[in-house]
Amino acid sequence: MVMNKKRKLLIARKLAEFHSIPLVDKKAKGQLVEKLRHYINLLNGTNNELYKRIKLSSSSYLNDIPWLKIADDINKIEEIINNKNSSWSNLSIVLCHNDTQCLNFLYDEKQNNKISLIDFEHCARNYWLYDIINHFIEYAGCDNEEPDYDNTYPKRHKQKQWLEIYLSNASFLNNKYEKQMTIDELCDLGDCLRAPIHLYWSLWAFLEALLNPQSMKNFDYIKYGKCRLKQYEKYKQDFFS
């Protein structure tokens, strides 16, 4: 999805403001692994009804997905983010939107170019960088079953420009570690998040296909989920290493 520079920077400011909403429990952990595990537990055969739907699915692809291997990967993701010596342990947890596609930012030229954030279905505690990287990924658009993620993901200089605006408006950032990180270090860390983000939307898409089969008439969620899973496999070593 193409947006002008001004609108992109307004979104950066809006997202920083949203992330600055204080959490009730400031010591609460992020919910990324919790969400991933919830999805995989519905898909890996432990849910009898969904297991039947997978077996009866017209798509053989769902039967070939290594659900147990993905579940093992999720355990590894949890180990990494819970490691007190990892970079993740020092990254602030905030209230995240978790679905920061461009269409969820409403732009109103009549109200001094006001930006409003909508659709909080996936809202949960998460790393603030997660929302940003998810937003960058979604530059590919959400109306295509096989988005071109690689060619639409912003180049480093564009990421840095966006982050500079965000950081100047992120009042929640009082973590000494984060303040000492360079923009490039934040970009490097953010790029690693591409893997779990793609995994999240892949599992979500497969569930949409199984729980709402009628929706497949308008959008092939299995093809979309397959595309996302390929992206996860492509980038997962960036996260695991």
Closest listed residue to residue 53, CA positions, set 205, 212, 160: 212
Residue 2 pLDDT > 70: no
Query: Is residue 12 within 8 Å of 161, Cβ to Cβ?
Result: no
Residue 14 pLDDT > 80: yes
Helices (H), the chain: 5-19, 32-43, 48-56, 61-64, 67-82, 128-137, 149-152, 156-169, 176-180, 183-192, 194-211, 221-240
**Per-residue pLDDT tens digits for 24-39:** 998 899 999 999 999 9
DSSP state of 95: E
Query: Is residue 194 within 8 Å of 235, Cβ to Cβ?
Result: yes
Name the residue with higher pLDDT: 57 or 214: 214
Q: What's the predicted TM-score (pTM) here?
A: 0.93
Residue 109 pLDDT > 90: no
Q: What are the boundaries of each domain within the chain? A: 5-240
Query: Is residue 31 within 8 Å of 23, Cβ to Cβ?
Result: no
Burial of 115 (0-12, 13-18, 19+ CB in 10 A): middle
pLDDT of residue 239: 96
CATH 2.60.40.10 fits 5-240, yes or no: no
**Which segment of 70-74, 105-109, 115-119 scores lowest on mean pLDDT?**
105-109
Residue 213 pLDDT > 60: yes
Residue 101 pLDDT > 80: yes
Give dist(CA 211, CA 231) in Å, integer: 23
Q: What CA–CA distances, in Å, run from 53 to 69, 161, 165, 229? A: 20, 46, 46, 20
**Per-residue pLDDT tens digits for 151-175:** 999 999 999 999 999 999 998 887 7
